[in-house]
Structure 1
Amino acid sequence: MRIVPFLTAIVVTAMLYLLVMERETLMAFAIGEQEITSEDKTDIPAADAPAMAALAQSMVKVVVQTSEAEEIDSAVLLRGETEAARQVEVRAETTAQVISEPLRRGTFVEAGQMLCTLDPGTRHTVVAQAQADLANAMAQVPQAEARVKEAQARLNEALINDNVATKLSETGYASETRVAATQAAVLSAEAGVESARSGLETTQAGIRAAEAAVAAAEKEIERLIITAPFAGLLENDTAELGSLMSAGATCGTIIQLDPIKVVGYVPETQVHRVALGSLAGARLTDGREVRGRVTFLSRSADPQTRTFRVDIDVANADMSIRDGQTADILIASAGSKAHLLPGSALTLDDQGDLGVRVIEEGNVVAFKAVTLMRDTAEGVWVTGLGDSADVIVVGQEYVVDGVTVEPTYREASK
């Protein structure tokens, strides 16, 4: 049995125990804050004496970066996607057979451009019949008006005769029988006038009904040509030639991509930092960067995520940005001071709070909690360190609060 590997294993195990389980005691011993009694010496293996002596002769070395706070644009960072400004399924309003060649998907169509044309069938005949009925109804108006005038003339004559009979009866030159007869004639004439006027109203109602029938027939003709409601791209082929379309069937789907929307969802903790009209930018997955302004901020939170929808309108004249692309969104907000540090400098304390370890007066280590504002390729922007701070960027995981270290300073990377 070889004794050397066995002794080496014991030494390594003892050193690891001291470094991991008794780190604070070991560090205090290393900086001379605690004297080792004779009893303590008996507890330390003899093989550890060289390591303990080395630690006692030198403090822990760390690399420190002096950081100065800078004014940055405190943008709200979101993850979102692009969305078409408008999208609609153009549907038929009547039933007929398609008689036009289909337009293929990807075709750009202008507002009002024909998408589908349907077979008119007998609809033109229906229009002609409705127009004939309207003409017939209008031809009856003069006759109805003449009957009204005739009935009015008879009423006037009856009123005159009644007036004469009444006067003569008062002087004794006409009998009461004659007066009663003239009054009956007046009532009959009045009834004739009412009847004539009712006939005129019936004729006018017939005209209005005929006009409505003509309008409905002509509207049915208009529905045979289905047009684009706005300029955009076809997402699918329009209805095929010869297919039968019923009312409500889809002729084609159009999307408008200029301008295009970039949609994100703001957490409720940051929604107060977003305002309508704020400048915003987005970086697409292909690396392109686009700019726009906030045009919509929801007043109602999503019940599942408790976030608020925000829309940003972006120019897309060449339509190179597609619907549904992933985007990283930055919305401008009020600026604040922050420190740019390497991401590796961040650490956690015993309570799990995010922060960094800094060097204070006397080269003593202290933990400072920070708030992460932005993660960039150059590093992370954090707040909570004041205007200036000496941040440990190498070795922060091997020291604790209150320990005195030997710092080596380096310049911040630009």
Structure 2
Amino acid sequence: MFALLRQRPWIIALLIALLLLAWLLSGERLVARDDAAPDSPSSAPPAGLARVAVEWLEAQPMQREQVVQGQIEAWRRVELRAQVSARVQRLDQDKGQRVAEGQLLLSLSPDERPAQLARSEAEVRQRASDVRAAEQLRQRSLISANELLRLQSELAKARAELDSARLQMQYTAVRAPFAGIYDQRMVELGDFVQPGQALLTLVDIDQLKVSAQIAQQQVGQLQLGQTVRVVLLDGRELSGELHFIAAAADPGSRSFRIEVKVANPQGLRLAGASATLHIRTGEVPAHRLSPALLSLDAAGRQGVKWVDEQQRVVFSPVELLSVDSQGAWVSGLPQRLALITLGQGFVEPGQQVDSQPREAH
């Protein structure tokens, strides 16, 4: 090898030239890196600031609506009970029929009551005659005032017994206290009943009422007389009117009972079914966003994080108005805000960040 180099010295010169060229080129690359270093961080965020993505949202007017589950009930329902001891003598109407107010539904045996009524009527006539005669005698001072008072007292007692006998007779005829549907019968022909025993039920479904429970935080937004949309399980909708709000909350649930009056001119058999009440409570500014952007703060309040003008993170509690397949409507936020859509889980309220805004969808 060395003998070859001694014979051809031009090879040594070529090697030295190549080494010099390589050294010069490496120096130019180092200078280029040094010159470029100061410009490279121009697009990087300030040191120590987290970067988040934000979306600008603008509030829109929206009808606030409370949605609660309710129970449909008959407008009126009464259970008629026996008021005397007697046998069921006659079934004057069949259950399931519509009956008028005052119509006879069921008859109980009169037994000895007609005779007692006749005796009471005769007793009143006798006592009344005694009092009239005593009053004439008293005018001539032929009887004492005490004797007249005794006879008047006996007349009053006889009249009270007559009223009781008449009531006993009336109680043997069970009549409808209002127009409605003869819904159920608990006795049969020939049954012996005692006072207080249930005989039949009568319901009025010309109107219906839908009862529900409203949270104490929301009851202040309701007004008597406002229109309520009632949605049945099969999708049908009825229109009702809020006609009752409880004055006190239920001790167990701390919620308030409400009742919605619904007209039922077709006599639909809905009593006992479930329904959903949609109650509008006024217009509020609201924002539409993805439910995934909702989070909880240390106090357990539901809200969202956004960036203010000083590039600091703000947490605002919100009220969830409604949720559907397209997103959630919330209230309680500023009219316009930069909502954090990416990176909210890595920043805390009060923290300064580097935000990258983009137009709202």
TM-score scaled by length of structure 2: 0.71
Counterpart for residue 80 of structure 1: 70
- CA 1:391/1:130 → structure 2, altered by over 3 Å: closer, same or farther? same
How far, CA to CA, are the matches of 1:238 and 1:115 in structure 2? 13
Return closer, same or farther for 1:301/1:390 CA change in 2, 3 Å cut-off.
Answer: same
Aligned mate of 2:114, from 105, 111, 124:
124
CA contact (8 A) 1:353 1:369 kept: no
Distance 1:270 1:105 in 2: 42
Q: 1:96 aligns with which of 79, 86, 91?
A: 86
Q: Which has the higher helix share?
A: 1
Unmatched segments (≥5 aa) in structure 1: 1-27, 36-58, 153-189
Which of 289, 293, 296 is 2:237 aligned to?
289
> Structure 1 length as normaliser, TM-score?
0.63
State whether structure 2 residue 252 is matched by structure 1 residue 304: yes
Maintained 8 Å contact 2:64/2:280 = yes
Q: Decide whether aligned partners of structure 1 residues 380 and 239 sit closer, same or farther in structure 2, where only a CA change above 3 A counts.
A: same
Residue 156 of structure 2 is aligned to residue 211 of structure 1: no
Q: Is the 2:286–2:329 contact (alpha carbons within 8 Å) kept by the matching residues of 1?
A: yes
Matching of residues 260-271 of structure 1 within 5 Å: 260-271=208-219
1:280-339 deviation digits (Å, cap 9, x = unpaired): 333333323333333222222222222222222222223436334333333332321001
CA 1:358/1:126 → structure 2, altered by over 3 Å: closer, same or farther?
same
Contact 2:137/2:143, CA 8 A, preserved across alignment: no
Q: Deviations over 1:343-387 (max 9, x none)?
A: 34434568765334557789x895653413322434321124322
Greater CA drift, 400-409 or 330-339: 400-409
Q: Does 1:374 align with 2:321?
A: yes
Superposed, 1:37-48 pairs within 5 Å as: none
Partner amino acid, structure 2, of 1:313: K
Residues 74 and 373, structure 1, Cα contact 8 Å, conserved in 2: no
SS at match of 1:72: strand
Residue 342, structure 1, aligned to residue 290, structure 2: yes
How far did residue 240 of structure 1 move?
1.0
Please show how residues 49-88 of structure 1 align to structure 2 within 5 Å.
67-88=57-78
Listed as ranges, the matches of 1:66-215 within 5 Å are: 67-101=57-91, 103=93, 105-140=95-130, 143-144=133-134, 147-148=137-138, 152=140, 193-195=142-144, 199-215=147-163
Deviation at 1:217, TM superposition (A): 2.0
Root-mean-square deviation (CA), in Å? 3.8
Look up the SS of the partner of 1:100 in the other structure: strand
1:147, 1:203 → 2: CA distance? 13
Contact 1:347 1:356 in 2 (8 A): yes
Whether the 8 Å contact between 2:51 and 2:343 is mirrored in structure 1 is no
Return closer, same or farther for 1:66/1:126 CA change in 2, 3 Å cut-off. Answer: same
Equivalences for residues 225-244 of structure 1 within 5 A:
225-244=173-192
Q: Answer 1 or 2: which has greater strand percent.
A: 2
Q: 1-side partners of 2:343 and 2:184: how far apart?
A: 59
